[in-house]
A = this chain, B = another copy of it.
Amino acid sequence: MNDCSFIAKRGRLTYIVRTMKAAMKKRTAPKEERQQQLIQATIRSVARNGLSDTTMATVASEAGLSQGIINLHFQSKERLLVETLSYIADEYRTAWEQALSSAGDEPADKLAALVSVDFKKPVCHPNKLAVWFAFWGETKSRPTYRRICAMRDMAYRKEMVQVCHELIVQGGYQDVDAETVTACLSAMTSGCWLDLLTNPRSMSRLQAKRICMSYLVTTFPRHFAERSDK
């Protein structure tokens, strides 16, 4: 009986100790966790300082870790940056794939979902936008960056063309071209992102979405006319 109480107490103690340790910041962490932590710190640093003022030191300090840690986990600064870009590209892809799969079967709903996800939080966080543009800015001189960006783009567009095509067939929009709509829409998206980045005062995520939706309204009037919501 007292054994039980002891165990109970012991369990409680263990719990407390574990909590304390966690609070003291684990000195050692699973490899992948540390890498994630550093990628997140990189995103914050790029957003805060810009890519050209992001140094090993700013990232490490943003992560609350020591100088050498990045080379320990990523070998070089360049690899950290590539990994960071890859991370947000993956995140982006995952986001619209999920949005798509939970949008139902109606092509119009799918299209709306695709546009929607571009202006929702995880993907459209100011920091993420800053990172995208930071890398786009170096794209011309860094084939590696370009490749990653291009891949993200291609997958996204391919899907959107598909969805547009379905919608065109279904809705009988004979004189609308799926490729063109996709080009317009994805250009508008990144254009709006630029606005969100440079004029955060006069542009909000909601407004940005409305702008893109307005395009859908004019293009597919019978499917988007009344829905100004969401």
Is A153 in the interface zone, CB < 8 Å from B? yes
Contact indicator B199/A47 (Cβ below 8 Å): no
A29 to chain B, nearest CB (A): 18
- Binary contact track A116-146/B, C-beta < 8 Å → 1, others 0: 0000000000100110011111111110001
Contact indicator A183/B198 (Cβ below 8 Å): no
Can you tell how many copies of this chain the complex includes? Answer: 4
Contact indicator B190/A184 (Cβ below 8 Å): no
A51 interface neighbour in B130, B137, B189, B219, Cβ under 8 Å: B137
Contact indicator A137/B140 (Cβ below 8 Å): no
A215 to chain B, nearest CB (A): 6
Is A149 in the interface zone, CB < 8 Å from B? yes
Is A99 in the interface zone, CB < 8 Å from B? no
Secondary structure type dominating chain A contacts: helix
Name the residue among A140, A191, A215 with the largest chain B CB count within 10 angstroms. A140
A211 interface neighbour in B50, B136, B140, B184, Cβ under 8 Å: B184
A133 interface neighbour in B47, B139, B215, Cβ under 8 Å: B139
Within 8 A of B (CB), among A2-61: 47-53
- Binary contact track A149-184/B, C-beta < 8 Å → 1, others 0: 110010000000000000000000000010010011
A187 interface neighbour in B141, B180, B194, Cβ under 8 Å: B194
A187 and B211 alpha carbons, distance in the complex (Å):
9
A197-B47 in contact given A215-B184, A218-B218 (Cβ < 8 Å) = no
A50-B137 in contact given A153-B198, A218-B219 (Cβ < 8 Å) = yes
A148 to chain B, nearest CB (A): 10
